[in-house]
Each structure stands twice: as structure tokens, then as C-alpha cells.
Structure 1
């Protein structure tokens, strides 16, 4: 399975107990409503499949997982800090009303003064705000996703319109 055929729901953060139980941080909204019997853990550039024996979410963003054939802490420990993926067939359909700034990955950024800047390759969360990563003139540029900068979003054509502060691009290009 390729990463493009899946979507990320969280990460394994630690083992729990001696019987191979894993604790995961789940940051995919609505994960508790998904029905799935297997998952993929990222190991380098590959996704490794695992069948689920038990998946419980006793509180928001926390899951306790038992995987088949992982029955001891020694087998579970190498899985810590691995990202968790599910096949795209389990991904729920989103309504247009459910669109968030995290959904901007893959959109093209167009600035009022500079024109087309490039495609958003990543959305990162910083303590103050979300930042979009764009490769512009062979440089990685971080664009704050805040109301003062965003002038419009065309969801259908996947375009983010911005009015960047004067000098922001110069910081990265110098």
C-alpha cells in the first residue's frame, strides 16, 4: 500500500502494559466513528499492514490498540512513534461545510502582487496558528493561514488567494 492510497489518523505514542497494548494520539476528527479492521503503520517510506484485535477511544484524541501478533511489550516497542494510516476507502466524505484550513494541502497559492506562488505541500500547526508550506522559486516558504492574509478560497478549483505582507517572500529568497 502506498502513502497516497491512505490517510493519516494519528501516531503511536507509547506502549501500555506488558501485553503489547499501544497508546496512540489520534488527531483525525471523527476517527471514533470510523469502522475498520486493519491499519497501516509507516516504517520508513513503506506502510506495513496490521490487523486490529481491539481499538478503543476512551477519551478524545487517545486510543488504546491491540494488534494481532503483537502480544508482548518487546514486539510493541518498535512500533512507538510510527504514524497510523487507514486505506482511503475508510475516509469519510466531507461536506463543503466541513472544510477547514487543514484541507488546503494541494491547493495553489495566488498572491495579489506576485501572482501564482506554487502548491501547498504541507500544513503545519504552530502554537499561534497554522502555516502553509509552499515551494516558491526553489525555496520553502511558510505562509501564515490567518484572516489578515487570506483574501479568498476557491474550493472547487483548489486555489487559495492571499495578500502577503510586504517583504515576507524576500525573507526566504535572500
Structure 2
């Protein structure tokens, strides 16, 4: 498993004093209010201010005091260490831990690996790439077991639910 969890991407500057507009990559934007620091390209940066704006976050990071300096960060990702990440409820996983997992059914048939997690209104969908591509709904009737340590997800045989 990765040591860092990506929580957002810097998409633009905000104002003239070095604030950064961030697109959150988390399901709860309010988590940004709790952050004291983030990693940008592996370097720890202290957060000195946070505002929520619609579905975006405006961050003030120590040492970024001008629009010119802020522009250098555009497009970069914000990460937190795994130990400082939000604690998830049982049965919930970070996307970074799901992507790359092998998908097999309970009879041992290998379908491929998860290449992407798609969010829909009702549930997530796992995009599997192998010999063929397959979309699997991430629901308990289909996904029987998730083992991120083994990088393996066990599902019901496709013909039983498709």
C-alpha cells in the first residue's frame, strides 16, 4: 500500500497573495478544515488558512505569498501521510488501495485488475481491465470480499449478476 493518500489537486491561484484553489479528491470537503499540513511533491507544507468555496477549497500555505509563487504549484497534488489520513469505517477503502487490485470470482476465474473507480449517484463502479474490460458495481450482492493487503477482490461469477 502507498504511504501517502492524495486529497486534492491545485487547479489555480486565488487572489494576489498566494492562495491556492484546490479541487478536493475526497468525499468530504470539510476534512480540509482539519488539515494542519500536506505534502506537495514529497515536501511537507504547513497550512495557515482554509476556506471552503462551493465545491472547491481555498488554501493558504506557508511560504507561498504571491500569485507568481502560487502559479508554480498549479496542477500539483496534495497528499497526506497514511497515518494522518481519515480513519475509515469497516468496509470502506481508499481508492488508492483499490486501484490495481486483482479481481477474481469465487470459482477462481481471473477478470483483470481495477484500473479506475467510477463514482455514480447510487454506488461506485470498478472498471476492470484484463483480456476484456468489465464494469463491476461495488455492491455487496456482487463484491464478496475486499483484501487490500493481498491486493485482491473476490466477486460473484459474472454470469450470476449480469
TM-score above 0.5: yes
* TM-score, with structure 1 as normaliser: 0.67
1:101-140 to structure 2, matched below 5 A, reads 102=95, 104-111=98-105, 115-124=109-118, 132-134=126-128, 136=130
Q: Secondary structure of the residue that 1:56 maps to in structure 2?
A: strand
Hey, what does 2:76 align to over in structure 1?
A: 82
Does the 8 Å CA contact 2:50/2:57 hold for their aligned counterparts? yes
Residue 2 of structure 2: SS of its match in structure 1? Answer: helix
Structure 1 gaps of 5+ residues are 166-174
CA contact (8 A) 1:55 1:66 kept: yes
| Structure 1 segments of 4+ aligned residues over 6 angstroms from their partners | none
8 Å contact from structure 2 (residues 125, 138) kept in 1: no
- Superposition pairs of residues 39-78 of structure 1, within 5 angstroms: 39-42=38-41, 47-59=42-54, 61-78=55-72
Question: 1:19 is matched with which residue: 11, 17, 21?
Answer: 17
Q: CA RMSD in A?
A: 3.4
Task: Tell me the matched-pair count.
Answer: 152
TM-score, normalised by the number of residues in structure 2: 0.71
Q: Deviations over 1:82-126 (max 9, x none)?
A: 1111111221222225x3795643543114787023443542558
3-state SS, counterpart of residue 32 of structure 1: helix
